[in-house]
Amino acid sequence: MSNYLDYQAAKPVDKRVLDEMLPYFSEKYANPSSLHADGDVATRALDESREKISFFLNAPEGSSIVFTSSATESNNLAIIGSALRNKRKGTHIIISEIEHISIHNIAKYLEREGFTISKLPVDQYGIVKVEKLEKLIRDDTILISISTASNEVGSLQPVEEISRIAQKHGVLYHADAVASEATVPLDLTNTPIDMLTLSSNDIYGPRGVAALYMKKGVRVNPLIIGGGQEMGMRSGSENIPGIVGFAKAAEIAKSEIKQEGPRLSGLRDKLIKGVLETIPKSHLNGHPEKRLPHNAHFRFDYIEGESLILGLKDQNIACATGSACSSKTLEPSHTLISMGLLHEEAHGSLVVTLGRFTQDSHIYELLESLPKVVKRLRLLSPLTPPDLLKQIKEEGEN
C-alpha cells in the first residue's frame, strides 16, 4: 500500500467495524420487514443502529434518521424532496458557490424544473459571506443548503449563524456534513439544523451506506417509491450489514473524536509549516485556522496539479488535486475560482487529507519527496520565471 494521504476521497473500513458487520452477512441475514423471529433480530439491529447515529449527532428527541445508499442520495432526498414538498410555499433555494458537485448538479436539475437558485458567495478563504445570506432570502425562499465545511479546501463554515438566520426566517436549512463528520463534533440539539447528510465511509464505515437526519416536523417527498421502508422516505430493503457497520463506526468516532481531532491538527500543522518553509512560491488555500483538522490544501505556482499527483505517485504517495467527485474533468476547481484564484493558479493545487492511520512518518515522507517533485516540474515548465529557474538549477548543483 502507498503512503495514503487522500482520506477525503475514501477511507478504509476500521477492523472493529468489519468485525461488527460480519455476522449480518451469514448468520443474522433476515429481512427486517419479515414478521418471524429472525426478522425481529434484523429489526432490532436496525433500530439500535438508528439510535447510535442519533447519539453520534446528539440529535434532539423526535428527530428521524433515514438510511440511504450514499451521501449523494441523501443530498437528493433532502433538497429535491423538500423542494417538491414545499413547492406551493415557494420555489427559491439558496446554496453556496462552493458546494459539493452533487449539490450543484441537483440545483441545475431543479432550475430546469422551474425553481430559482441563488448562490451565496465566499471570501478568499472559502468561507461563505454570511452577512449576505439574509439579503438573499426572499418571501418564496424554502431551503438553504450550505455544507458544514468545504470538502476541498477544508474551511469551516459558520453553521450556527446560518442555522439561526434560517430559523429566524422560517426557512429550512440542510447541511452536508460529510467533510467534517469524522473530525468535528456534531451537536444538533444546540444547533437548529433541519436536515443533515452523513456518509458511512467518511467515518471509517463501509461504502454504500449513508443517512439523512431530519429534525422533528420536517417532511420531504420520497424519491424512491416501493414498499415504504425507512418510514416511507426511502423504499427498498435495508442494507443491514452496512447499516450495522455505519452505526459501529459512528460509535467509535463519537468516543475518539476529542483525541483524534487534535492529533490530526498537529500532523496537519507540521505538514503546512514544512511545505511553506521549504518550497518557494507555495501557498495554503483555505482559512489558516478555521479549517478541518485533517485537511491541508496547497497550490504551487507554474505547475499543473495533475503532473504533481503523477510525480508523487512515482514516489508511492497518494494525494489529490481537487474534489474526488469531479477531478476527472479538466476544468479548474469551482471552489478555487469562487475564492478569487485565476485559472492558472487553481490548476496547480495539491490536496492532502490525513486520517486515522496517518503517522508522523507519512508526513516526513511527503516533505522529503514533494520539494523534489515540484523542482523537477518547474524545470520542465515554460511558465517558470528565469530567476526561479536559475535558483533551482543552482540548488541542484550544490
Which residues are catalytic, by number?
325
3-state SS track over the chain = CCEECECCCCCCCCHHHHHHHCHHHHCCCCCCCCCCHHHHHHHHHHHHHHHHHHHHHCCCCCCEEEEECCHHHHHHHHHHHHHHHCCCCCCEEEEECCCCHHHHHHHHHHHHCCCEEEEECECCCCCECHHHHHHHCCCCEEEEECCCECCCCCEECCHHHHHHHHHHCCCEEEEECCCCCCCCCCCCCCCCCCEEEEECHHHCCCCCCEEEEECCCCCCCCCCCCCCCHHHCCCCCCCHHHHHHHHHHHHHHHHHHHHHHHHHHHHHHHHHHHHHHHCCCEEEECCCCCECCCEEEEEECCCCHHHHHHHHHHCCEECECCCCCCCCCCCCCHHHHHCCCCHHHHCCEEEEECCCCCCHHHHHHHHHHHHHHHHHHHHHCCCCCHHHHHHHHHHHHC
Question: CA torsion angle for 131, 136, 141, 142 (degrees, to 10)?
Answer: -40
Number of neighbours of residue 199 by Cβ within 10 angstroms: 24
Question: CA torsion angle for 207, 148, 94, 166 (degrees, to 10)?
Answer: 130
- Distance of alpha carbon 314 from alpha carbon 312, whole angstroms: 5
Q: Which residues pair with 364 in a beta bridge?
A: none
- Distance of alpha carbon 253 from alpha carbon 255, whole angstroms: 5
Question: CA torsion angle for 128, 291, 100, 297 (degrees, to 10)?
Answer: 120
